[in-house]
């Protein structure tokens, strides 16, 4: 927020002095959190800052929030005025020297102002209902605490000395004034009576002594009535009406805060001691922690930077001591913590990749054995291991549920290489980076593999001629059929002897089977030739046509059922057969 508004209680001359003193305190140290406030001046500095923040927020707040903030500002300003009227210019009174009740109330208000300042750091225009409740409750708590403060301070007078302040009972002070007035009046009447009745001693010396006594009597009780310092001196000296002695901060070294106040041994390299007058005559103190001298990285009147990188010790609270020549040392308590060793993250790596056989044969199984080790400090869970037999392969995967620190596991994958040649086989652990590892660069392992050409495969091939369908018997009547078979050099005849009667449209079962053993690269050649035999009765034999088919091993010799029609020169038929293939290797 860029705009600034003037605080109401600075309009009066006396309050202007107070604000200037507060600003002077801010120049030395601006208290920002509980535990750093040391004096009434520190407390008023925090209060002035809070009032200023509230006034800035009022300018931007909505109607409901503005009402809450204005009420809080009024309560806080009233409380500051109460403290001003009580302590006047005695801003260096230490909070520790106050009575327990007053100190507790001020520390309670400090906590409340801290909560308010925390809420005001947000955009006041978007303040939540919870934040409004916090500010509203803060106003009520400050009003209650201020009322209690006014009640406890209304009957006391605070006066200052050089190094201490005195809290005097106002009622006793007033009683002393009344008592002195009575005694003064009675004494004056007696002295006047003696003078006018000429009853003073006739002896010159006694007469002078009487006059001195009368003047001293009037001066003493007149001073008690008219001169407050005399009355204060009597009360503080005799203890009559003295409630409390308040210590004030003088030009002595003092520690306000240690940041951080916890040292992680071996990790924290520097701590700062905040305070005032930390150097005496320009010389810094000697610092000790747990009886070990620590060096100063830097020093000013307000901050000492202590090098704790080499500090040793055990966990627990210990003393930080600042030693000054010819002065009492300053002792504060800090905490040493021996950090619990943090285990290294998991680190998965493939320690071994073996392919068996090392030079596999084409189309034969190759087995990859992968050994995965977790060489990190914590367990790895639910990660995927992938093996790619060759670069173009999408990969074979397995999931490992868990692998403890220092443990290993072995996985196997199987693959038959189709092609011949040299391939790069790659294994990868934690393929989708599911495990946070200390080293992500050791998750792959590769191995080259050479695939040998497989020897030709051998197969048992069976050609089973089941039947023939006659389309044209090449005769006006019934004909006589002869079929000659040749399968890769194996021959057969149907019927075995003689002929078989046939007519157009008839189907004849044949039952001729040929078993062969072929290797890859060899062709299967099927030849069937049909004849209608006249037997010399009406002339020459009639050609029924032939069927010739060649099948290659690349198509597994066209295994399955076939129905092939002859070329039909005179007669015509369709031969039906089945090819069965059984690979032997």
Domain endpoint, select from 125, 154, 183? 154
Domain match, 555 and 579 both: yes
| Spatial separation of the C-alpha atoms in residues 279 and 259, rounded to whole Å | 18
pLDDT at 22: 38
Task: For residue 490, give its domain range.
Answer: 458-583
- 143 occurs within a structural domain: yes
**Which DSSP string do the residues of 438-458 spell out, in sequence order?**
S-STT-EEEEEEEEBPPPPPE
Report in angstroms the alpha-carbon separations of 45 from 41, 53, 149, 160.
6, 12, 18, 21
Give the domain CATH number at 527: 2.60.40.150
pLDDT at 32: 38
| Spatial separation of the C-alpha atoms in residues 15 and 83, rounded to whole Å | 11
Domain match, 416 and 390 both: yes
Radius of gyration of the chain (CA): 57
pLDDT at 430: 95
Of 167-176, 183-192, 360-369, which one has max mean pLDDT? 360-369
Instruction: Give burial (CB, 10 Å; 0-12/13-18/19+) of 116.
Output: buried
pLDDT at 123: 67
Closest CA to 103 of 152, 141, 55, 66: 152
**Long-range CB contact pairs, 65-73, < 8 A, 24+:** 65/124, 65/127, 65/132, 65/135, 68/132, 68/135, 68/136, 68/139, 69/135, 71/136, 71/139, 72/116, 72/135, 72/136, 72/138, 72/139, 72/142
Phi, psi (rounded to 5 degrees) for 482: -135, 130
Check whether 92 has a pLDDT greater than 80: no
569 or 424: whose pLDDT is higher?
424
Q: How confident is the model at residue 150 (pLDDT cuts 50, 70, 90)?
A: low
pLDDT at 378: 94
In 42-163, DSSP assigns E strands to 156-160
Which residue is it, tokens 């099948």?
A: 551
Domain match, 26 and 147 both: yes
pLDDT at 13: 37
Residues in Cβ contact with 384 at an 8 Å cutoff, skipping those fewer than 6 apart: 397, 398, 399, 400, 430, 431, 432, 434
Check whether 168 has a pLDDT greater than 50: yes
Helix (H) or strand (E) holding 206: helix 204-226
Domain match, 50 and 79 both: yes
529 or 258: whose pLDDT is higher?
529
Q: How confident is the model at residue 219 (pLDDT cuts 50, 70, 90)?
A: confident
Q: How confident is the model at residue 6 (pLDDT cuts 50, 70, 90)?
A: very low
Domains contained in the chain, number: 5
Across 276-313, b (16+ Cβ under 10 Å) vs e yields bebebeeebbebbbbeeebeeeebeebebebebeebee
Give the domain CATH number at 331: 2.60.40.10
57 or 392: whose pLDDT is higher?
392
**3-class secondary-structure state, position 365:** strand
Average pLDDT value for residue range 561-572: 91
Check whether 4 has a pLDDT greater than 50: no
Asked whether 276 and 254 are in contact (CB, 8 A), the reply is: yes
**3-class secondary-structure state, position 224:** helix
| Spatial separation of the C-alpha atoms in residues 114 and 102, rounded to whole Å | 18
Out of 162-166, 417-421, 467-471, pick the least confident: 162-166
9 or 451: whose pLDDT is higher?
451
Check whether 320 has a pLDDT greater than 70: yes
Domain match, 411 and 327 both: no
pLDDT at 319: 92
- 161 occurs within a structural domain: no
């Amino acid at each position: 927020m860029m705009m600034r508004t003037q605080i109401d209680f600075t309009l009066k001359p006396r309050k202007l002095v107070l604000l200037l003193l507060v600003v002077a305190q801010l120049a030395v140290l601006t208290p920002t959190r509980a535990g750093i406030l040391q004096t009434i001046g520190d407390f008023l500095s925090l209060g002035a800052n809070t009032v200023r923040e509230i006034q800035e927020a009022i300018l931007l707040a909505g109607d409901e929030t503005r009402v809450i903030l204005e009420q809080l500002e009024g309560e806080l300003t009233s409380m500051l005025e109460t403290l001003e009227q009580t302590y006047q210019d005695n801003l260096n009174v230490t909070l520790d020297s106050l009575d327990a009740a007053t100190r507790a109330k001020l520390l309670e208000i400090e906590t409340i102002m801290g909560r308010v300042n925390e809420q005001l750091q947000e955009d006041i225009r978007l303040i939540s209902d919870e934040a409004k409740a916090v500010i509203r409750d803060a106003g009520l708590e400050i009003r209650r605490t201020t009322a209690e403060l006014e009640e406890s301070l209304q009957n006391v007078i605070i006066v200052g000395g050089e190094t201490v302040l005195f809290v005097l009972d106002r009622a006793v002070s007033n009683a002393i004034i009344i008592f002195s007035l009575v005694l003064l009046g009675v004494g004056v009447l007696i002295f006047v009576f003696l003078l006018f009745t000429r009853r003073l001693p006739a002896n010159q010396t006694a007469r002078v002594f009487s006059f001195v006594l009368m003047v001293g009597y009037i001066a003493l009780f007149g001073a008690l009535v008219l001169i407050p310092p005399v009355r204060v001196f009597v009360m503080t000296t005799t203890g009559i009406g003295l409630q409390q002695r308040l210590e004030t901060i003088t030009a002595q070294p003092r520690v306000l805060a240690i940041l951080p106040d916890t040292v992680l041994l071996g990790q924290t390299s520097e701590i700062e001691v905040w305070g005032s007058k930390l150097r005496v005559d320009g010389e810094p103190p000697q610092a000790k922690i747990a009886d070990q001298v620590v060096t100063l990285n830097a020093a000013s009147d307000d901050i000492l930077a202590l090098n704790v990188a080499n500090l040793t010790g055990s966990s627990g609270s210990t003393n930080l001591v600042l030693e000054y020549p010819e002065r009492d040392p300053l002792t504060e308590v800090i905490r040493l913590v021996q950090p619990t060793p943090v285990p290294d993250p998991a680190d998965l790596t493939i320690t071994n990749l073996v392919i068996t056989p090392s030079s596999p044969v084409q189309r034969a199984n190759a087995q990859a054995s992968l050994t995965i080790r977790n060489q990190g400090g914590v367990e790895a869970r639910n990660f995927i291991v992938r093996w790619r037999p060759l670069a173009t392969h999408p990969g074979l995967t397995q999931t490992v549920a868990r692998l403890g620190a220092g443990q290993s596991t072995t996985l196997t994958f199987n693959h038959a290489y189709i092609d011949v040649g040299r391939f790069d086989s790659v294994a990868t652990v934690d393929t989708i980076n599911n495990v946070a590892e200390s080293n992500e660069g050791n998750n792959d392992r590769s191995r080259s593999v050479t695939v040998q050409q497989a020897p030709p495969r051998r197969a048992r091939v069976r050609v089973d001629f089941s039947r023939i369908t006659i389309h044209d018997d090449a005769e006006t009547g019934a004909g006589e059929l002869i079929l000659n078979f040749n399968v890769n050099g194996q021959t057969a005849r149907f019927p075995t002897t003689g002929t078989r009667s046939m007519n157009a449209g008839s189907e004849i079962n044949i039952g001729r089977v040929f078993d062969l053993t072929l290797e890859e690269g060899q062709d299967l050649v099927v030849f069937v030739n049909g004849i209608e035999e006249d037997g010399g009765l009406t002339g020459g034999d009639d050609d029924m046509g032939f069927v010739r088919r060649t099948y290659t091993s690349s198509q597994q010799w066209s295994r399955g059922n076939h129905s092939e029609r002859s070329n039909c020169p005179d007669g015509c038929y369709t031969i039906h057969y089945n090819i069965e293939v059984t690979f032997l290797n």
